[in-house]
Structure 1
Amino acid sequence: MHHTGYQPDTVALIGAGNAIDSALQKGLQKVGFRVQLVGREQLTAEKFPARSGTIVINAASCGGGALMAEARAVCEALKGLPFTALLHLSSYGVFGRARRKKIDEEEEPSPSSERGRDWLACEEILSAVDNVSILRLGWQVDRSEDALLGRILRSLLEGRPVILDDTSKGNPVTVADLVRVAVAITQQLASGGPKSGLYHYGSADTCTAMEFGREVIDRVRSLYGEDFAAELAVLAPAEEDRSSVLSCGRLRDVFGIQQRSWRQGLTRQVELWLERLQKPEV
Protein backbone atom coordinates (compact mmCIF):
# COMPACT_ATOMS: atom_id res chain seq x y z
CA MET A 1 0.00 0.00 0.00
CA HIS A 2 1.28 3.48 -0.86
CA HIS A 3 2.29 5.31 2.30
CA THR A 4 0.40 8.55 2.72
CA GLY A 5 2.80 10.16 5.16
CA TYR A 6 0.04 10.50 7.76
CA GLN A 7 1.13 9.86 11.34
CA PRO A 8 -0.99 8.03 12.37
CA ASP A 9 -2.56 6.69 9.18
CA THR A 10 -5.47 4.92 10.92
CA VAL A 11 -8.82 6.44 11.90
CA ALA A 12 -11.21 4.79 14.34
CA LEU A 13 -14.69 5.93 13.31
CA ILE A 14 -17.51 5.81 15.85
CA GLY A 15 -20.57 6.04 13.68
CA ALA A 16 -23.88 7.87 13.88
CA GLY A 17 -25.92 4.97 12.52
CA ASN A 18 -27.06 6.88 9.44
CA ALA A 19 -25.81 8.19 6.08
CA ILE A 20 -22.86 9.94 7.71
CA ASP A 21 -21.06 6.66 8.49
CA SER A 22 -20.47 5.22 5.03
CA ALA A 23 -19.81 8.66 3.57
CA LEU A 24 -17.11 9.39 6.17
CA GLN A 25 -15.56 5.97 5.71
CA LYS A 26 -15.34 6.38 1.94
CA GLY A 27 -14.04 9.94 2.21
CA LEU A 28 -11.26 8.95 4.62
CA GLN A 29 -10.27 5.91 2.58
CA LYS A 30 -10.17 7.98 -0.59
CA VAL A 31 -7.34 10.11 0.80
CA GLY A 32 -5.42 7.10 2.09
CA PHE A 33 -6.49 6.50 5.69
CA ARG A 34 -7.12 3.04 7.07
CA VAL A 35 -10.57 3.15 8.69
CA GLN A 36 -11.85 0.99 11.51
CA LEU A 37 -15.55 1.19 12.40
CA VAL A 38 -15.84 1.01 16.18
CA GLY A 39 -18.93 0.25 18.25
CA ARG A 40 -19.62 1.46 21.79
CA GLU A 41 -19.04 -2.01 23.20
CA GLN A 42 -15.46 -1.87 21.91
CA LEU A 43 -14.57 1.35 23.70
CA THR A 44 -12.58 -0.01 26.60
CA ALA A 45 -8.86 0.13 27.15
CA GLU A 46 -8.72 -3.67 27.14
CA LYS A 47 -10.73 -4.15 23.96
CA PHE A 48 -10.10 -0.93 21.99
CA PRO A 49 -9.45 -2.37 18.51
CA ALA A 50 -7.44 0.50 17.06
CA ARG A 51 -3.71 0.74 17.42
CA SER A 52 -2.45 2.96 20.22
CA GLY A 53 -2.06 6.51 18.98
CA THR A 54 -4.75 6.43 16.30
CA ILE A 55 -7.10 9.29 15.42
CA VAL A 56 -10.72 8.92 16.52
CA ILE A 57 -13.71 10.57 14.83
CA ASN A 58 -16.78 10.49 17.05
CA ALA A 59 -20.00 10.95 15.08
CA ALA A 60 -22.20 9.29 17.71
CA SER A 61 -23.93 12.58 18.63
CA CYS A 62 -25.21 12.89 15.03
CA GLY A 63 -27.41 9.82 15.39
CA GLY A 64 -30.61 11.61 16.39
CA GLY A 65 -32.60 12.07 19.57
CA ALA A 66 -33.27 8.41 20.28
CA LEU A 67 -29.54 7.68 20.39
CA MET A 68 -28.36 10.62 22.48
CA ALA A 69 -28.13 8.59 25.69
CA GLU A 70 -25.86 6.19 23.83
CA ALA A 71 -23.85 9.13 22.47
CA ARG A 72 -23.23 10.36 26.01
CA ALA A 73 -22.10 6.88 27.04
CA VAL A 74 -19.69 6.84 24.08
CA CYS A 75 -18.14 10.12 25.24
CA GLU A 76 -17.70 8.73 28.75
CA ALA A 77 -16.07 5.61 27.34
CA LEU A 78 -13.66 7.64 25.21
CA LYS A 79 -11.99 9.14 28.26
CA GLY A 80 -8.67 7.46 28.95
CA LEU A 81 -8.35 5.67 25.61
CA PRO A 82 -4.94 5.82 23.89
CA PHE A 83 -5.69 8.03 20.89
CA THR A 84 -3.44 10.69 19.35
CA ALA A 85 -6.35 13.01 18.56
CA LEU A 86 -10.14 12.99 18.74
CA LEU A 87 -12.50 14.88 16.44
CA HIS A 88 -15.94 15.11 18.06
CA LEU A 89 -18.89 16.16 15.87
CA SER A 90 -21.38 18.37 17.69
CA SER A 91 -24.12 20.82 16.74
CA TYR A 92 -25.31 24.42 16.68
CA GLY A 93 -28.09 23.06 18.92
CA VAL A 94 -26.00 23.92 21.99
CA PHE A 95 -27.25 27.48 21.33
CA GLY A 96 -30.94 27.68 22.06
CA ARG A 97 -32.33 31.20 22.10
CA ALA A 98 -33.06 33.39 19.08
CA ARG A 99 -30.24 35.47 17.61
CA ARG A 100 -29.80 37.89 14.76
CA LYS A 101 -26.04 37.69 14.54
CA LYS A 102 -23.49 35.06 13.70
CA ILE A 103 -22.45 32.85 16.59
CA ASP A 104 -18.74 32.44 17.14
CA GLU A 105 -16.88 30.00 19.37
CA GLU A 106 -16.68 32.50 22.24
CA GLU A 107 -20.47 32.53 22.63
CA GLU A 108 -21.66 30.81 25.81
CA PRO A 109 -23.85 27.75 25.02
CA SER A 110 -27.44 28.04 26.23
CA PRO A 111 -29.45 25.02 25.00
CA SER A 112 -33.23 25.32 25.25
CA SER A 113 -34.13 21.76 24.21
CA GLU A 114 -33.40 18.32 25.58
CA ARG A 115 -31.45 17.51 22.41
CA GLY A 116 -29.35 20.64 22.81
CA ARG A 117 -28.61 19.78 26.43
CA ASP A 118 -27.48 16.33 25.33
CA TRP A 119 -25.12 17.80 22.72
CA LEU A 120 -23.67 20.14 25.30
CA ALA A 121 -23.30 17.31 27.84
CA CYS A 122 -21.25 15.34 25.31
CA GLU A 123 -18.97 18.34 24.78
CA GLU A 124 -18.55 18.82 28.53
CA ILE A 125 -17.64 15.17 29.07
CA LEU A 126 -14.80 15.50 26.54
CA SER A 127 -13.69 18.99 27.55
CA ALA A 128 -11.30 17.66 30.19
CA VAL A 129 -9.65 15.23 27.74
CA ASP A 130 -6.38 16.10 26.01
CA ASN A 131 -6.11 16.38 22.23
CA VAL A 132 -9.85 16.82 21.55
CA SER A 133 -11.22 18.99 18.74
CA ILE A 134 -14.93 19.79 18.81
CA LEU A 135 -16.63 20.68 15.53
CA ARG A 136 -20.07 22.23 15.90
CA LEU A 137 -22.04 21.81 12.71
CA GLY A 138 -24.88 23.85 11.30
CA TRP A 139 -28.27 22.41 10.54
CA GLN A 140 -27.71 18.93 9.09
CA VAL A 141 -30.27 18.58 6.32
CA ASP A 142 -29.75 15.10 4.86
CA ARG A 143 -28.22 12.75 7.41
CA SER A 144 -31.34 10.53 7.62
CA GLU A 145 -34.88 10.16 6.28
CA ASP A 146 -36.10 12.18 9.26
CA ALA A 147 -33.88 15.16 8.42
CA LEU A 148 -35.25 18.05 6.36
CA LEU A 149 -34.40 16.82 2.86
CA GLY A 150 -35.92 13.38 3.45
CA ARG A 151 -39.08 14.86 4.98
CA ILE A 152 -39.57 17.21 2.03
CA LEU A 153 -39.04 14.52 -0.59
CA ARG A 154 -41.25 12.00 1.20
CA SER A 155 -44.08 14.56 1.33
CA LEU A 156 -43.65 15.33 -2.36
CA LEU A 157 -43.69 11.68 -3.38
CA GLU A 158 -46.83 11.09 -1.30
CA GLY A 159 -48.56 14.16 -2.74
CA ARG A 160 -48.82 15.92 0.61
CA PRO A 161 -48.25 19.64 1.21
CA VAL A 162 -44.80 20.54 2.49
CA ILE A 163 -45.23 22.72 5.59
CA LEU A 164 -42.07 24.59 6.52
CA ASP A 165 -40.81 27.36 8.79
CA ASP A 166 -40.04 30.58 6.92
CA THR A 167 -38.81 32.53 9.96
CA SER A 168 -35.67 30.98 11.46
CA LYS A 169 -32.45 31.03 9.49
CA GLY A 170 -29.41 28.77 9.68
CA ASN A 171 -26.44 27.77 7.58
CA PRO A 172 -27.17 24.17 6.55
CA VAL A 173 -24.62 21.38 6.18
CA THR A 174 -25.00 18.49 3.76
CA VAL A 175 -23.43 15.11 4.42
CA ALA A 176 -21.08 15.61 1.47
CA ASP A 177 -19.83 18.93 2.88
CA LEU A 178 -19.54 17.52 6.40
CA VAL A 179 -17.31 14.75 5.02
CA ARG A 180 -15.17 17.25 3.11
CA VAL A 181 -14.54 19.27 6.26
CA ALA A 182 -14.04 16.31 8.62
CA VAL A 183 -11.59 14.64 6.24
CA ALA A 184 -9.62 17.87 5.78
CA ILE A 185 -9.34 18.33 9.56
CA THR A 186 -8.28 14.71 10.00
CA GLN A 187 -5.57 15.06 7.37
CA GLN A 188 -4.13 18.02 9.24
CA LEU A 189 -4.39 16.27 12.62
CA ALA A 190 -2.28 13.50 11.09
CA SER A 191 0.19 15.97 9.60
CA GLY A 192 1.18 18.00 12.63
CA GLY A 193 -1.82 20.32 12.91
CA PRO A 194 -3.15 21.51 16.29
CA LYS A 195 -4.84 18.62 18.09
CA SER A 196 -7.29 20.52 20.26
CA GLY A 197 -9.74 23.34 19.69
CA LEU A 198 -13.36 24.38 19.28
CA TYR A 199 -14.59 25.12 15.77
CA HIS A 200 -17.81 25.96 13.93
CA TYR A 201 -18.82 24.97 10.41
CA GLY A 202 -21.88 25.82 8.35
CA SER A 203 -22.52 26.70 4.74
CA ALA A 204 -21.48 30.03 3.28
CA ASP A 205 -25.09 31.09 2.68
CA THR A 206 -28.02 31.07 5.08
CA CYS A 207 -31.64 30.11 4.51
CA THR A 208 -34.90 29.20 6.19
CA ALA A 209 -36.44 25.75 5.88
CA MET A 210 -38.88 27.22 3.34
CA GLU A 211 -36.07 28.63 1.19
CA PHE A 212 -34.36 25.26 1.29
CA GLY A 213 -37.62 23.56 0.32
CA ARG A 214 -38.07 25.80 -2.72
CA GLU A 215 -34.59 24.88 -3.94
CA VAL A 216 -35.32 21.18 -3.45
CA ILE A 217 -38.55 21.47 -5.46
CA ASP A 218 -36.63 23.19 -8.26
CA ARG A 219 -34.25 20.21 -8.35
CA VAL A 220 -37.12 17.71 -8.34
CA ARG A 221 -38.82 19.51 -11.22
CA SER A 222 -35.55 19.51 -13.17
CA LEU A 223 -35.68 15.69 -12.88
CA TYR A 224 -39.42 15.03 -13.22
CA GLY A 225 -40.54 17.96 -15.37
CA GLU A 226 -41.96 21.40 -14.67
CA ASP A 227 -45.48 20.00 -14.30
CA PHE A 228 -44.54 18.03 -11.18
CA ALA A 229 -47.13 18.95 -8.55
CA ALA A 230 -45.74 20.40 -5.35
CA GLU A 231 -47.44 22.45 -2.65
CA LEU A 232 -45.51 24.51 -0.13
CA ALA A 233 -47.16 26.03 2.93
CA VAL A 234 -45.74 28.29 5.62
CA LEU A 235 -45.80 26.91 9.14
CA ALA A 236 -48.44 28.87 11.05
CA PRO A 237 -48.59 30.48 13.44
CA ALA A 238 -45.07 31.72 12.83
CA GLU A 239 -42.59 30.24 15.27
CA GLU A 240 -40.34 32.39 17.41
CA ASP A 241 -37.23 33.39 15.50
CA ARG A 242 -34.73 30.70 16.46
CA SER A 243 -32.11 31.65 13.90
CA SER A 244 -28.68 30.15 14.56
CA VAL A 245 -26.02 31.10 12.03
CA LEU A 246 -22.53 29.90 12.86
CA SER A 247 -19.45 32.03 12.28
CA CYS A 248 -16.72 29.83 10.81
CA GLY A 249 -13.68 32.09 10.81
CA ARG A 250 -11.63 30.05 13.28
CA LEU A 251 -11.84 26.90 11.13
CA ARG A 252 -10.63 28.92 8.15
CA ASP A 253 -7.84 30.59 10.10
CA VAL A 254 -6.50 27.41 11.74
CA PHE A 255 -7.06 24.81 9.01
CA GLY A 256 -7.63 26.89 5.88
CA ILE A 257 -11.02 25.27 5.29
CA GLN A 258 -13.38 27.45 3.27
CA GLN A 259 -17.16 27.47 3.50
CA ARG A 260 -19.22 26.26 0.57
CA SER A 261 -22.80 26.88 -0.45
CA TRP A 262 -25.33 24.25 0.58
CA ARG A 263 -26.60 24.50 -3.01
CA GLN A 264 -23.45 22.83 -4.33
CA GLY A 265 -24.21 19.22 -5.15
CA LEU A 266 -27.86 19.54 -4.09
CA THR A 267 -29.20 18.06 -7.33
CA ARG A 268 -27.14 14.92 -6.83
CA GLN A 269 -28.22 14.67 -3.20
CA VAL A 270 -31.86 14.93 -4.29
CA GLU A 271 -31.32 12.18 -6.87
CA LEU A 272 -29.78 9.85 -4.29
CA TRP A 273 -32.51 10.42 -1.73
CA LEU A 274 -35.27 9.94 -4.32
CA GLU A 275 -33.69 6.61 -5.25
CA ARG A 276 -33.49 5.63 -1.58
CA LEU A 277 -37.07 6.64 -0.76
CA GLN A 278 -38.49 4.94 -3.85
CA LYS A 279 -36.57 1.71 -3.37
CA PRO A 280 -39.06 -1.10 -2.70
CA GLU A 281 -38.85 -2.75 0.69
CA VAL A 282 -37.66 -6.37 0.64
Structure 2
Amino acid sequence: MRIMVFGKTGQVAREVQRQAQVNALGRDEADLADPADCAEAIRAEAPDVVINAAAYTAVDRAETEEDLARVINAEAPGAMARACADLGIPFIHISTDYVFDGAGETPFAPDHPTGPLGAYGRTKLAGEEAVRAAGGVHAIFRTSWVVSAHGSNFVKTMLRLGAERDRLTIVADQVGGPTPAADIAALCLAAAAQLVEDPDKTGTYHISGGPDVSWADFAREIFAQAGISCEVADIPSSDYPTPATRPQNSRMDNRATEAVFGLARPDWRAGLSRILEDLGQRA
Protein backbone atom coordinates (compact mmCIF):
# COMPACT_ATOMS: atom_id res chain seq x y z
CA MET A 1 0.00 0.00 0.00
CA ARG A 2 1.40 3.37 -1.04
CA ILE A 3 0.90 5.99 1.67
CA MET A 4 1.56 9.71 1.29
CA VAL A 5 2.12 11.70 4.48
CA PHE A 6 2.05 15.47 4.92
CA GLY A 7 4.17 16.84 7.76
CA LYS A 8 7.52 15.13 7.28
CA THR A 9 9.25 16.50 10.38
CA GLY A 10 6.30 16.65 12.78
CA GLN A 11 5.93 14.33 15.77
CA VAL A 12 3.29 12.04 14.30
CA ALA A 13 4.76 12.01 10.79
CA ARG A 14 8.18 11.02 12.12
CA GLU A 15 6.63 8.14 14.04
CA VAL A 16 4.71 7.03 10.93
CA GLN A 17 8.01 6.93 9.07
CA ARG A 18 9.53 4.79 11.82
CA GLN A 19 6.71 2.27 11.54
CA ALA A 20 6.17 2.02 7.76
CA GLN A 21 7.59 2.79 4.36
CA VAL A 22 5.79 5.96 3.27
CA ASN A 23 6.31 8.98 1.06
CA ALA A 24 6.56 11.82 3.59
CA LEU A 25 6.44 15.32 2.10
CA GLY A 26 8.24 18.29 3.63
CA ARG A 27 7.59 21.97 3.00
CA ASP A 28 9.91 21.94 -0.01
CA GLU A 29 7.72 19.28 -1.63
CA ALA A 30 4.29 20.53 -0.56
CA ASP A 31 3.71 23.98 0.91
CA LEU A 32 0.89 23.86 3.45
CA ALA A 33 0.38 27.58 2.90
CA ASP A 34 -0.49 26.74 -0.72
CA PRO A 35 -3.50 24.38 -0.65
CA ALA A 36 -3.49 23.93 -4.43
CA ASP A 37 0.12 22.75 -4.24
CA CYS A 38 -0.86 20.09 -1.69
CA ALA A 39 -3.74 18.87 -3.83
CA GLU A 40 -1.51 18.71 -6.91
CA ALA A 41 1.06 16.60 -5.02
CA ILE A 42 -1.68 14.06 -4.27
CA ARG A 43 -2.99 14.00 -7.82
CA ALA A 44 0.52 13.67 -9.26
CA GLU A 45 1.35 10.58 -7.19
CA ALA A 46 -2.13 9.07 -6.82
CA PRO A 47 -1.25 7.08 -3.68
CA ASP A 48 -3.52 4.51 -2.04
CA VAL A 49 -4.02 6.57 1.14
CA VAL A 50 -3.11 10.07 2.34
CA ILE A 51 -2.35 10.96 5.98
CA ASN A 52 -2.30 14.62 6.92
CA ALA A 53 -0.14 14.93 10.04
CA ALA A 54 0.78 18.56 9.34
CA ALA A 55 -0.74 21.61 11.04
CA TYR A 56 -0.19 25.11 12.32
CA THR A 57 0.18 24.28 16.03
CA ALA A 58 1.48 27.54 17.55
CA VAL A 59 -1.61 27.96 19.75
CA ASP A 60 -0.72 31.38 21.17
CA ARG A 61 0.66 32.85 17.95
CA ALA A 62 -2.50 31.79 16.13
CA GLU A 63 -4.35 34.52 18.05
CA THR A 64 -2.54 37.08 15.88
CA GLU A 65 -2.01 34.88 12.80
CA GLU A 66 -5.45 33.36 12.42
CA ASP A 67 -5.55 33.90 8.65
CA LEU A 68 -2.34 31.91 8.15
CA ALA A 69 -3.47 29.26 10.62
CA ARG A 70 -6.75 28.93 8.71
CA VAL A 71 -4.98 28.38 5.41
CA ILE A 72 -2.79 25.62 6.89
CA ASN A 73 -5.34 24.05 9.24
CA ALA A 74 -8.51 24.38 7.16
CA GLU A 75 -7.97 25.28 3.52
CA ALA A 76 -5.06 22.90 2.92
CA PRO A 77 -6.79 19.84 4.48
CA GLY A 78 -9.91 20.70 2.51
CA ALA A 79 -7.94 20.77 -0.74
CA MET A 80 -6.23 17.48 0.17
CA ALA A 81 -9.55 15.83 1.02
CA ARG A 82 -11.12 16.96 -2.25
CA ALA A 83 -8.17 15.57 -4.23
CA CYS A 84 -8.50 12.27 -2.38
CA ALA A 85 -12.26 12.19 -3.00
CA ASP A 86 -11.67 12.78 -6.71
CA LEU A 87 -9.20 9.87 -6.78
CA GLY A 88 -11.42 7.63 -4.64
CA ILE A 89 -8.80 7.10 -1.94
CA PRO A 90 -9.07 7.45 1.87
CA PHE A 91 -7.89 10.59 3.65
CA ILE A 92 -6.77 10.53 7.29
CA HIS A 93 -6.59 13.84 9.15
CA ILE A 94 -5.29 14.69 12.63
CA SER A 95 -7.36 17.16 14.66
CA THR A 96 -7.44 18.28 18.27
CA ASP A 97 -9.29 18.53 21.59
CA TYR A 98 -9.20 22.32 21.10
CA VAL A 99 -12.35 22.08 18.98
CA PHE A 100 -14.25 21.71 22.30
CA ASP A 101 -14.89 24.34 24.96
CA GLY A 102 -13.24 22.37 27.77
CA ALA A 103 -16.24 22.64 30.07
CA GLY A 104 -17.17 20.07 32.71
CA GLU A 105 -15.34 16.90 33.64
CA THR A 106 -17.00 14.35 31.33
CA PRO A 107 -14.87 12.96 28.47
CA PHE A 108 -15.91 14.44 25.13
CA ALA A 109 -17.45 11.98 22.68
CA PRO A 110 -16.87 12.51 18.93
CA ASP A 111 -20.44 13.74 18.45
CA HIS A 112 -20.35 16.22 21.35
CA PRO A 113 -21.12 19.82 20.27
CA THR A 114 -17.96 21.77 19.48
CA GLY A 115 -17.09 25.20 20.81
CA PRO A 116 -13.47 26.25 20.35
CA LEU A 117 -12.10 28.88 22.71
CA GLY A 118 -9.53 30.45 20.40
CA ALA A 119 -8.10 30.84 16.92
CA TYR A 120 -6.24 27.54 16.83
CA GLY A 121 -9.37 25.57 17.74
CA ARG A 122 -11.50 27.54 15.28
CA THR A 123 -9.13 26.81 12.40
CA LYS A 124 -8.85 23.13 13.28
CA LEU A 125 -12.63 22.85 13.45
CA ALA A 126 -12.89 24.52 10.06
CA GLY A 127 -10.45 21.92 8.76
CA GLU A 128 -12.65 19.09 10.02
CA GLU A 129 -15.66 20.64 8.32
CA ALA A 130 -13.76 20.99 5.04
CA VAL A 131 -12.67 17.35 5.14
CA ARG A 132 -16.23 16.17 5.71
CA ALA A 133 -17.58 18.49 3.01
CA ALA A 134 -15.21 16.94 0.43
CA GLY A 135 -17.45 13.88 0.52
CA GLY A 136 -14.74 11.23 0.31
CA VAL A 137 -13.72 8.32 2.51
CA HIS A 138 -11.98 9.76 5.56
CA ALA A 139 -11.10 9.39 9.22
CA ILE A 140 -10.62 12.44 11.43
CA PHE A 141 -8.67 11.61 14.59
CA ARG A 142 -8.87 14.20 17.34
CA THR A 143 -6.04 13.90 19.81
CA SER A 144 -4.53 15.76 22.77
CA TRP A 145 -1.24 16.58 24.49
CA VAL A 146 0.99 14.91 21.87
CA VAL A 147 4.44 13.87 23.08
CA SER A 148 7.44 12.08 21.60
CA ALA A 149 11.22 12.13 21.46
CA HIS A 150 10.97 14.55 18.53
CA GLY A 151 10.40 18.27 18.22
CA SER A 152 9.10 20.46 21.04
CA ASN A 153 6.65 19.03 23.55
CA PHE A 154 5.86 18.89 27.26
CA VAL A 155 8.06 15.87 28.02
CA LYS A 156 11.17 17.44 26.53
CA THR A 157 10.44 20.79 28.19
CA MET A 158 10.05 19.14 31.61
CA LEU A 159 13.27 17.16 31.18
CA ARG A 160 15.15 20.36 30.41
CA LEU A 161 13.61 22.46 33.17
CA GLY A 162 13.73 19.65 35.72
CA ALA A 163 17.46 19.32 35.21
CA GLU A 164 17.94 23.06 35.71
CA ARG A 165 15.68 23.74 38.71
CA ASP A 166 14.77 22.26 42.07
CA ARG A 167 11.12 23.31 41.91
CA LEU A 168 8.58 24.01 39.17
CA THR A 169 5.06 25.40 39.30
CA ILE A 170 2.76 23.52 36.92
CA VAL A 171 -0.91 24.01 36.05
CA ALA A 172 -3.08 21.47 37.85
CA ASP A 173 -6.63 22.42 36.81
CA GLN A 174 -6.29 21.36 33.17
CA VAL A 175 -6.91 17.63 32.78
CA GLY A 176 -6.52 15.46 29.72
CA GLY A 177 -4.81 12.49 28.15
CA PRO A 178 -1.15 12.75 27.12
CA THR A 179 -0.84 10.92 23.81
CA PRO A 180 2.40 9.40 22.50
CA ALA A 181 2.87 10.23 18.81
CA ALA A 182 3.86 6.60 18.22
CA ASP A 183 0.37 5.47 19.21
CA ILE A 184 -1.27 8.03 16.94
CA ALA A 185 0.95 6.83 14.09
CA ALA A 186 -0.01 3.21 14.74
CA LEU A 187 -3.69 4.12 14.63
CA CYS A 188 -3.27 6.09 11.40
CA LEU A 189 -1.56 3.15 9.71
CA ALA A 190 -4.15 0.66 10.96
CA ALA A 191 -6.95 2.95 9.84
CA ALA A 192 -5.34 3.40 6.43
CA ALA A 193 -5.49 -0.34 5.75
CA GLN A 194 -8.98 -0.71 7.18
CA LEU A 195 -10.48 2.23 5.30
CA VAL A 196 -9.25 0.80 2.01
CA GLU A 197 -11.10 -2.44 2.80
CA ASP A 198 -14.12 -0.90 4.53
CA PRO A 199 -15.00 2.68 3.52
CA ASP A 200 -17.97 2.58 5.91
CA LYS A 201 -15.50 3.26 8.73
CA THR A 202 -15.48 6.88 7.56
CA GLY A 203 -16.05 9.25 10.46
CA THR A 204 -14.65 11.29 13.35
CA TYR A 205 -12.85 9.56 16.21
CA HIS A 206 -10.77 10.28 19.29
CA ILE A 207 -7.38 9.02 20.39
CA SER A 208 -5.90 10.13 23.70
CA GLY A 209 -3.69 8.40 26.20
CA GLY A 210 -4.99 7.11 29.50
CA PRO A 211 -5.47 7.57 32.32
CA ASP A 212 -6.51 11.21 32.30
CA VAL A 213 -4.16 13.39 34.33
CA SER A 214 -3.36 17.03 35.11
CA TRP A 215 -0.30 18.73 33.67
CA ALA A 216 1.19 18.82 37.18
CA ASP A 217 0.75 15.10 37.73
CA PHE A 218 2.04 14.41 34.23
CA ALA A 219 5.19 16.33 35.15
CA ARG A 220 5.57 14.30 38.35
CA GLU A 221 5.46 11.05 36.37
CA ILE A 222 8.03 12.36 33.89
CA PHE A 223 10.42 13.19 36.73
CA ALA A 224 9.76 9.86 38.46
CA GLN A 225 10.50 7.82 35.35
CA ALA A 226 13.52 9.93 34.44
CA GLY A 227 14.94 9.88 37.98
CA ILE A 228 14.93 13.67 38.25
CA SER A 229 14.61 15.24 41.70
CA CYS A 230 12.43 18.26 41.04
CA GLU A 231 9.49 19.32 43.17
CA VAL A 232 6.22 20.10 41.37
CA ALA A 233 3.90 22.68 42.93
CA ASP A 234 0.29 22.85 41.69
CA ILE A 235 -1.04 26.17 40.41
CA PRO A 236 -4.32 27.20 38.74
CA SER A 237 -4.43 28.26 35.10
CA SER A 238 -5.08 31.81 36.27
CA ASP A 239 -1.54 31.93 37.65
CA TYR A 240 -0.09 31.15 34.22
CA PRO A 241 -1.88 33.44 31.74
CA THR A 242 -1.36 32.83 28.03
CA PRO A 243 -2.58 34.70 24.92
CA ALA A 244 -4.83 31.76 24.02
CA THR A 245 -7.20 30.17 26.51
CA ARG A 246 -6.54 26.46 27.05
CA PRO A 247 -9.43 24.04 27.61
CA GLN A 248 -9.57 22.91 31.24
CA ASN A 249 -11.22 19.64 30.32
CA SER A 250 -9.37 17.78 27.56
CA ARG A 251 -10.72 14.36 28.48
CA MET A 252 -11.68 12.40 25.34
CA ASP A 253 -13.94 9.38 24.92
CA ASN A 254 -11.99 6.80 22.90
CA ARG A 255 -14.61 4.03 22.82
CA ALA A 256 -15.65 4.50 19.19
CA THR A 257 -12.02 4.27 18.06
CA GLU A 258 -11.55 1.03 20.01
CA ALA A 259 -14.76 -0.47 18.67
CA VAL A 260 -14.21 0.43 15.02
CA PHE A 261 -10.46 0.06 14.56
CA GLY A 262 -9.72 -2.51 17.26
CA LEU A 263 -6.97 -0.55 19.02
CA ALA A 264 -7.23 -0.04 22.77
CA ARG A 265 -6.72 3.35 24.35
CA PRO A 266 -2.94 3.73 24.74
CA ASP A 267 -1.35 3.89 28.21
CA TRP A 268 0.66 7.10 28.13
CA ARG A 269 2.86 5.93 31.03
CA ALA A 270 4.17 3.07 28.90
CA GLY A 271 4.56 5.46 25.99
CA LEU A 272 6.49 7.87 28.21
CA SER A 273 8.86 5.06 29.17
CA ARG A 274 9.61 4.41 25.49
CA ILE A 275 10.12 8.12 24.82
CA LEU A 276 12.60 8.39 27.68
CA GLU A 277 14.45 5.33 26.36
CA ASP A 278 14.66 7.00 22.93
CA LEU A 279 16.09 10.09 24.61
CA GLY A 280 18.44 8.06 26.81
CA GLN A 281 16.87 9.54 29.93
CA ARG A 282 15.03 6.67 31.55
CA ALA A 283 16.05 6.12 35.18
- Superposition deviation, residue 141 in structure 1: 3.2
Q: 183-192 vs 35-44, which deviates more?
A: 35-44
Are 1:220 and 2:214 matched, yes or no?
no
Matches within 5 A, 1:15-164: 15=7, 17-29=9-21, 34-37=22-25, 39-40=30-31, 42-45=37-40, 48-51=43-46, 54-61=48-55, 63-65=57-59, 68=69, 69-81=71-83, 82-129=87-134, 130-142=136-148, 145-159=151-165, 161-164=167-170
Q: Residues of 2 paired with 1:141 and 1:126: CA distance?
A: 25
Long gaps (5+) in structure 2: 62-67, 240-245
**TM-score normalized by the length of structure 2:** 0.80
Aligned residue type for 2:3: V
- Superposition deviation, residue 154 in structure 1: 1.4
The structure with the larger Rg is 1
1:259 — aligned with what? 265
Are 1:201 and 2:169 matched, yes or no?
no
- Whether the 8 Å contact between 1:98 and 1:241 is mirrored in structure 2 is yes
SS in 1 for 2:147: coil
Q: Residues of 2 paired with 1:36 and 1:230: CA distance?
A: 38
**TM-score normalized by the length of structure 1:** 0.80
SS in 1 for 2:133: coil
Q: Across the two proteins, how many residue pairs are aligned to each other? A: 256
Of 2, 10, 32, 1:10 maps to 2
Q: Note closer, same or farther for the CA distance 1:202–1:237 as it changes in structure 2 (3 Å cut).
A: closer
Q: Note closer, same or farther for the CA distance 1:94–1:18 as it changes in structure 2 (3 Å cut).
A: same
Q: Note closer, same or farther for the CA distance 1:10–1:167 as it changes in structure 2 (3 Å cut).
A: same
SS in 2 for 1:260: coil
* Identity rate, percent: 22
Q: Residues of 1 paired with 2:118 and 2:8: CA distance?
A: 20
Q: Note closer, same or farther for the CA distance 1:141–1:163 as it changes in structure 2 (3 Å cut).
A: farther
**Alignment RMSD (CA, Å):** 2.7
- Whether the 8 Å contact between 1:90 and 1:135 is mirrored in structure 2 is yes
1:174 — aligned with what? 180
1:4 — aligned with what? none
1:234 — aligned with what? 234
Aligned residue type for 1:35: N
Which deviations, in whole Å up to 9, do the C-alpha atoms of 1:168-224 show, x marking residues without a partner?
211221112111211211121233353521111112311011111111111111xxx
Long gaps (5+) in structure 1: 1-8, 222-227, 276-282
SS in 2 for 1:183: helix
